[in-house]
Amino acid sequence: MTRPEPVRYLRTEPSMAFPDGRLLALRDGRLHVLAPDGWTRLAYPRPPAAVWLTREAAEDWCEREGWDLHLLDDVPAADAMS
């Protein structure tokens, strides 16, 4: 049995403002959205239509949208937010 990934990525449904959806990250049970100033914690549960992504698919999303791939390693941990 393998260990679960410390961060899991999701993509929201496409919208007019975000044709490729928004990138979300789940770490330590906390959901974050990638925003212009970095990761922002969301206070509400996972959007029901959000789809799970592999790390590679999240990297592809970042490349398409012009985001730095290093942001995928910067999702805040729960203990860092206390």
How do beta strands 30-35 and 38-41 pair?
antiparallel
Per-residue pLDDT averaged across 36-58, rounded?
Answer: 93
- Please state, in angstroms and rounded to a whole number, the distance separating the CA atoms of residues 40 and 35: 6
- Please state, in angstroms and rounded to a whole number, the distance separating the CA atoms of residues 73 and 62: 12
What is each CA distance from 38 to 26, 47, 73, 75, in whole angstroms? Answer: 14, 20, 11, 9
Arithmetic mean of pLDDT over the chain: 90
- Please state, in angstroms and rounded to a whole number, the distance separating the CA atoms of residues 52 and 20: 14
The whole-number pLDDT of residue 7 equals 94
